[in-house]
Each structure stands twice: as C-alpha cells, then as structure tokens.
Amino acid sequence: MANLPTPDFTFDPDAPGACIAGVRPFRNGSYRLDAETDSGKFIIHNYGHGGAGITLSWGCAAKVRDIVQSHLVNSNDKDVAVLGAGVMGMTAATRLLDLGLKVTIFSDRKPAETTSFKAGGQWAVSVIEYEGKRQELKEILKTAFTTFKGSIGQGFGVSERDNFTAKRSENLDAVLNLVPGLIPEPVPLLLPFEGHENQHGFRYRTLLIEPPIFLARLETDLKARGATFVVVPKKFASKADVFSSVPQKTIVNCTGFGAMVLWKDQKMAPIKGQLAMLPAQPALQYLYGQNGYMFPRADHVVIGGTFEVGVCDEVPNKSDCQDLVRHIASLFGKAPVMPLPDIHIHHPDNAPMVNPAIV
C-alpha cells in the first residue's frame, strides 16, 4: 500500500471553536431502553449510550418505534412527545413519524447545542455497558449499521472509511464479537504512513458519521415531515415538571445525561471528553485510533480520546487539547513522545464506576 498523507498538526488552541468538550451519558451496567407507566403517562426510556450514541441511534430508534407501536395499537391517541433533540431524540422521532404519529420534540437545547453535535462520529461500540442486553444490542447494531450504510451518498454525512490502529481496537472488536461479519475482520499490515515505517498494525473498515451534517439533516427532514420542535425556556427540573409541562400521554425520554436528574437515575455517570478541532484537510481520508483518535471530517480534522470519569462540565481546557494534539502528533512521529498525566486516555481498566455524586 502506498504511503498515505499524514495530518498537518498545526493547532491554535485560541482559535474560535478549536477546543470543545462534551459529557458522554454513560450508564453503569447498561444503557436504558424500556418502558414504564407513571402518573398516567407511558414513558419509553432511551438514554445512557455513553460513547456510542451516534453509533446505536438508528437501532435504538427502531426499538422505540416497536414499543410505541404495540402500546398504541388499539388506541386513537396519535400524539407522542419526545424529550431531547440530540441524536437519540431525533432518530426516534423520525421512526415515530413513520408510524403516522404526531410528534412534538421538547428540549432545552437546539440540536446544534447537544452532546450529539459534539461527538467525533466513528461507528464503534465505545464506552458503553450492556449487561444482560447482548441479544438486544446485536439487533440494535445490525439495524443501525444497515441504516447508516444505506444512507451513504444521500446527504447524511455518512461514509465508509479505513481506520488504522497500532493494536487491535477494543471498540471495533466489540462489534465483531457481537455481530461477526457486520464489519470486515481487520487486516494486519505495516502501517502505511510516514512516522510508522516498519510498524505493524491493523486496518479496520467502519463508518464515519459527521454529526454536524447528520443532525442538521435529521432536523430538516423532521420539520419537513411535520414534527414540531419546542425549545423549553428552562430545563425540566424533575419528572413531575415533565409530567405537568408535557401534555402528551406517551413520552419518549431521550434526555441523555439529563435523565440522571429527571429520573433520579443513580446508574448514570458523566464521562467528559475533549476534542481538538484542526482545520479540515480533504486529502486525509482515513481514521486513526490508538490511545486517542484522529477523524478527518468535512468541517475539521477531529483529534480526541480523553475520558474524564465523573466530570460533568462542558468547559474545554486549552492545555489538555494542545496536549492531545501533541500526543497524536507524536504517534505519527511529528512531535516528541510525551507523557500524558492529566489526559486520561481511555484504558479498559479505567472503567467507569458507581456515580459518586448526584441526585
């Protein structure tokens, strides 16, 4: 394989939008996808997808659709509320419109302000637990992958890409373990770019979903199909607040990390992630992932891979972002190798834990 271009790591952390941070809605044990009846309302929960919400979105949306369909099968009620305008809320809303329902989406943030909009966008099973839900997750992965793959070239910001890694990728191997054959097995090779001469590694093949393009398209399509977006002036403070503010009897709860407070969910734990946004580099087409990652998108080359367990602020730290860029540059031989004491690059042993704070 010919040498591939390597990234230009020139980075100005003071440039507007160069550093961003978001909070992964991690849930200990497993994500939540189930239904309950409370105070005369039927609530379908769809939250806690950690670092894999973009990845799983279409699959979870199909499950939500099925639950709502069987609930409303003998009912004249066609009015459904979705809480949350992130990827989970908007994909679920799309599938509810497919059932011919009237859909209203309530949130305190517009889609472009959500965690979903900040995600890197690789299709992989990252930072999520699924205890007791292996079979369900297999189905979710199959539906999600097939739906994303079927949307390539149709303006959803989805493309199929190589992802090079120096070691096996636990997030992509998780996909292969759950659904063998869904993505190709990795190919062992000598890494085909400068700075890695004679270094063995692997080439995986997966999808890149560019959240700014994907979310904008979901929002446009939902509005064109008659869904209503309501930006509430103030965050819902509690479940009781939701029930008194939202008139619909059927409510799909896609509030991500917000579910921790609203549903007093002690299993939720924040995992902050920071991203350094380099200028776009169209010649770069492959992903790179090893103790941090590099995703070349149309808007930016995104450098990420920090996992701050228990931290729930969305304030980026310029020096962390600069270190992150230097770290990935060092892996390409473009900066001296550096220790990373404060960056918390993810390691499987550094697993999330019982939530120390909240409610």
Ligand X SMILES: Cc1cc2nc3c(=O)[nH]c(=O)nc-3n(C[C@H](O)[C@H](O)[C@H](O)COP(=O)(O)OP(=O)(O)OC[C@H]3O[C@@H](n4cnc5c(N)ncnc54)[C@H](O)[C@@H]3O)c2cc1C
Residues that bind ligand X (CB under 6 A): 22-25, 47, 49-55, 84-89, 107-109, 114-116, 118-122, 232, 235-236, 254-258, 262, 273, 275, 304
Nearer to ligand X (CB atom), residue 173 or residue 195: 173
Separation in Å, CA 359 to CA 259, 265, 351: 11, 8, 22
Residue where the block lists tokens 């930072």: 127
| Least Cβ distance, residue 118 to ligand X (angstroms) | 6
The CB-of-58 to ligand X minimum distance in angstroms stands at: 11
Entry field: residues in the chain: 359
Residue with structure tokens 């509005």? 223
Give the DSSP H or E segment for 250: strand 250-253
Tell the residue number behind the tokens 């859909």, with chain if given.
103
Of 131, 82, 119, which Cα lies nearest the Cα of 102?
A: 82
User: Shortest Cβ distance from residue 187 to ligand X (Å)?
Assistant: 22
Give min distance, CB of 257 to ligand X, in A. 6
Distance separating alpha carbons of residues 251 and 248, to the nearest angstrom: 7
CA geometry: angle 121, 268, 143, nearest 5 deg? 40
| Minimum distance from residue 259 beta carbon to ligand X (Å) | 7
- Separation of alpha carbons 62 and 78, rounded Å: 18
Q: What is the Cα–Cα distance from 106 to 212, expressed in whole angstroms?
A: 20
- Of residues 99, 25, 28, the one with CA closest to residue 57: 25
Min. distance of Cβ 336 from ligand X in angstroms? 26
190 versus 280: smaller Cβ distance to ligand X: 280
Residue 112's CB is within 10 A of a number of other CB atoms, namely 14
Q: Could you tell me the smallest distance in angstroms from the CB atom of residue 182 to ligand X?
A: 15
237, HSE (Cβ side, Cα atoms, 13 Å): 3
Amino acid at residue number 161: R
- Closest separation in Å from C-beta 314 to ligand X: 9
Run of H or E residues at 142: helix 134-150
* Closest CB to ligand X among residues 202, 293: 293
Nearer to ligand X, 195 or 243 (CB): 243
Task: Compare residues 164 and 257 and give the one whose CB is closer to ligand X.
Answer: 257
Closest residue to ligand X: CB criterion: 258
Smallest CA-to-CA distance from 12 within 274, 331, 276 is with 276
Q: What's the closest the beta carbon of residue 75 comes to ligand X, in angstroms?
A: 26
CA distances from 31 to 25, 107, 130, 131, 268 (A): 9, 20, 6, 9, 9
User: What is the sign of the dihedral through the CA atoms of 37, 242, 131 and 87?
Assistant: positive
Output the smallest distance, CB 234 to ligand X, in A. 8
176 or 262: CB nearest ligand X: 262
| CB of 190 or CB of 351, closer to ligand X | 351
Residue nearer to ligand X on the CB measure, 140 or 189: 140
What is the Cα–Cα distance from 293 to 261, expressed in whole angstroms?
31
C-beta closer to ligand X: residue 54 or 174: 54
CB 42 within 8 A of CB 251: yes
Which is nearer to ligand X, 245 or 333 (by Cβ)? 245
